[in-house]
Structure 1
Amino acid sequence: MDDNNNFGLSRRQMLGGLGMIGVASAGAGLGTTAYFSDEESFTDNTLTAGELDLIVDYETSYDQGNRLGSGGDSGTINGMPSDYSYELSDVKPGDSGQLVFCPKVVDNPAWLWIGSESGAIDYENGQTEPEAEDDATGAGTIGSPNDGEGEGELSESILVTVSYCEYDTETEDYTVIREMNNPEGYTLADLADDLEFGFFVDGGTDSGAYPPSEDGSTQQGPCLCIDWVLPTEVGNEIQTDAVEFDFEFYAEQERHNANPASPYATGDGFSSISFEKALNMQALARGGSGRGEIQVHGDSPGVEDQDVFGSNLGDVFPANQDVGFVAQIDTGSSPATASLEINGRTVVDTDVTDGTANGSATGDPEWQGGVPSTVDVALTAYSASGNGVETVVKDVQVNGSPASPSMVSSSGGAMYLAIPGVDTTTGVTVTGNVRFEGSEGDYTTQDWMGIDFR
């Protein structure tokens, strides 16, 4: 007998056999009146939310010499609202002090920032005769506490040092773990400016998150120490002056939140970086030429290109479309340069240290002493109110690293994204996309993206 015939199946036979198997299986199922079953109930199920409770212990001290002596205070800030005031009067050159803050995040690790909404506010409080000889500005009245807002010099005269620290039980004092960025001549005014954009508090863990405490009395992460001194070299210009400043801590859960955005990085209106800029760049949906424009130092006498998308009237930025941009401060060239490139078109200021835009004065000071080791960057999205256009700046990266957050947008007025302390060793490169949502016919000269450097 041929083995091939014994085991051979035609395509029709194979399909027929499979069909019978299927029918047989179905028939077996018809003979069953009910499946075995059972039911177990799980009742009173609960999901209990974990805890993320931020508590800040503080300890302050001051030394005002033999006349007023030294002293301090300590306590805990916990709850909403909750605050603490550190108040000193009759501050004289040579006085010093320290503020120590020890955060505790109960139960869960968290990203932690310290920041300020209003920074420092100086007051002149009138002028004595000796002060008037050294400071001719004048503002406010002597004897009226905190009068003459914005005119005092005290915050610019107090030197500060900020560091991570921990309590030493042997010395019964705080010792420095490591200093934060404290440039030479770092003042209270400088610290207040930096706090407006927030400091990320490094918790000393692999991720940088602040470690959890099991309760409100157990310290796990580092404390923050702010040491201040009013140098003896300071003269009569600070007599009767006062300064107010505030700051706060903000915690956000780490779990499922790998790339948190700083709560202080964005805001309404213009950043202080823009008001104090060394130079600026702009991309206008529709400039004064009736076309899309890009600029360094603004339009005339700045450096500009009015033909970014064509030379005809109406060749504006395309609506509802991402358009990439590259803004650079090139510190590798001599002298350093600034450029903005969009759609293959580039505008360049060939020297950012001469105080001009390629020889024309613009009012922007630039960096006439040379580009500093770090600069602050602010991106502004601006849209005219009521025209239905939204300006979106997105996918922002600085020197190859994503900004956090990486987007800012506005459908009326200004919104900013601040990125302080950018290292300029290899230059500064800001990239991203700008997008104008709406109709091209509704564009005005008030729909634009700005990039300011301080």
Structure 2
Amino acid sequence: MDDRQVSRRQILAGIGTVGASGVTLGLGSSALLNDDQLTPSNTLAAGVLDLQIETESGTHSRGSAMIDIDLSADDRNGSERLSLSLPATSNPAYVWGTTSCLDDALASALAVTLSYVDCDSGEPQTVVASGDTFDEFAAALAGGLAIDGDPRTTGRSCLGTDDRLCLELSWTLAETFSGEIASGFALEFVGQQCRSNDGRSSPFVSTGGSCGESEGPGRDISWVSFCAAEGETLRSDGLDFEVDGDTLHLIDAPSSLETVLLKYGTELRVFEDPTGSIFRTTTGGRTYAHDGSTFPGTTPPRSTSTPCPGTCGLKYEIEDGEATLDDKGCSS
């Protein structure tokens, strides 16, 4: 690896679950069969429970929690503790986890470990998965990794409705690495109701491929839409972004932004509660194939003419990297 000036940077790693708009047994369901949020080898099968995640820094979300990984020449180690739980209305569930890919040179220089920890004392217990490189770590989670709902017991247990499962994600940057690369990855945790499953079949359906394999560029973005939260507004002068082929670089956005949509080829990729600043047509969010001008399975039902139904939205047509405001939604 070429030596370059070491500078402080952040990797934004979205640690997420299926949100309220996902498939939730016992709480209502919807078709979510083309979720390509994870590694290139995984899609998310229907029939999963919504898990809640709280970070050590105090953030709590139904959809995703940001983890700031600060790297510098003097500090190449870090960690973040996670607490997983079920909504009060859910039944006990088997826990599964997987990860997206880290698609740059950092993947070969970042060692990652996910461990069980005691929720009260914070004492480490056993390792869930680890790798001397990120790609090795991702390979352990490819296709979905079964996670014990109660590591204190013998055998695999379900996560109880009133219980917490505590994990710690730790990372170390190799001494040989020096440079600055903007990137990130996403861990996702989902659950299967124990009363309906034996916990042997992963909800993440493997379709071949793994991190570290050449994926190639995705299809170019044809239009992008920004949707506000219900009752909120968006204005074009509050957004700053650039589009480069298959990638949206979100430079600045108001706190009212709730959903980012990327249209490419015959598919729509939906990023709910977006975190980070880089959105690609090849990874993250949930994907939906078009049927004419509509995208069956999206909630609320989205279409090319109405990408943000019921909320404020801004839609931009993209041609040769240039964005043209096509629909001002309710911000006009």
TM bracket (short chain)? 0.3 to 0.5
Could you say which structure has the larger radius of gyration? 1
**Greater fraction helix:** 1
TM-score (norm 1): 0.32
